[in-house]
Structure 1
C-alpha cells in the first residue's frame, strides 16, 4: 500500500489502534471517517494495527514502514483507540513512536476514543492529542469521544459531530495543503 499526496486514496486515512482486528473501535472510526469523505470520490484507507501485530516492534518491517508512509501522506488522519487502563493502547503508542517529530506536519488529525466512562475518555483524549501534536499533527477540533453504552446511537453522534466540526476539518486540511504548495 503506497499513497502519495497526489493520490486521493490517501486523502482520509483511518488508523485503528485496537489490538483486536474488526473491533468496535474500528467501526466507530470508520463511521467518523465516512462522514469526512462524503464529498470525495475515494473511501478512507484503513490501517488496522492489530494486523501488524509483533511487526510493530521491528522498525525495519516493510508492512509497518508502508503503513507509516500512508499515515505520513494522509490529508486527514482519523486515529482511533479504546481506553485501556485510563489511556490509549500500547499498539498505537508503538506505531506513533516510530514517526519523526514532523511526520504529520501536513495532516489534520481527528482523535476518536471509545470508552466505558467519560472520565477515562477525557484522560485518553488528552494523552492522544499530546502525542499527535508531538509528531506535528494539526488538531483544530474536539475529539470524537463515545462511551460504549451509547454505541446504539453512533449514527446520531457522528452526525452531530460532523455538523459541528466536519467543515472545520475540511477547511483546515485544505489550508494546510495550500500552504504546503506555496499558495497563500
Structure 2
C-alpha cells in the first residue's frame, strides 16, 4: 500500500496493525464506524527516536509539517473539579489553552496535563498521544484547520508509528467539537 502523503516504506491499514497500537487505539480502530471507512486509517511504521514533530519532519520532509497535527491533553479546573480533554491542532500551531480551551471547558483555569496524567489517563505513550482512542466522555477539541486538511499525520498512541487519517474523520470521533482558532 502507498501512503496518501509522505514517502513511507511501510504503510498499511491500521486495522491490519492492531498489535502495533496501544489497547485504547486498537479498540477504537476495531470499533470504527462512520462516513470515513476504516480502511482509510493508515498506519505507517516510523522510528520512535524521531517521533517529535521537528525531528520527524526534518527526517521525512518539511512538507509533512503542513499535513501533521498534534494531540495534547489539557486539564480545565473549576472549583474542586478537573475536566480532562484532548486538543488536536496543526503541528505549526500552539493550543490556545488560556483562551479557547478555558472558555470552551467553562474552566477558571486551564493548563496542559502533566505527563503522568496524560499517559496514565489515555493509556498511550507520551509523544504519541492520538485523538483516536481517547477515554470515553472526554471532550475532543479539534481545530477547524485540521478538519479541512485532506490527509493528516497524527500519533498512533505510541512513539513508534504514525496514523494518516482524512481530516474530516476527526468530526466523527466521540466528544469531538470543531473550533476555529483552537491553534494559534
TM-score range with shorter-chain normalisation?
under 0.3
**Which has the larger share of strand?**
2
Q: More relative contact order in 1 or in 2 (CA 8 Å, sep 6+)? A: 2
**Which has the larger share of helix?**
1
- Normalization by structure 1: what TM-score? 0.27
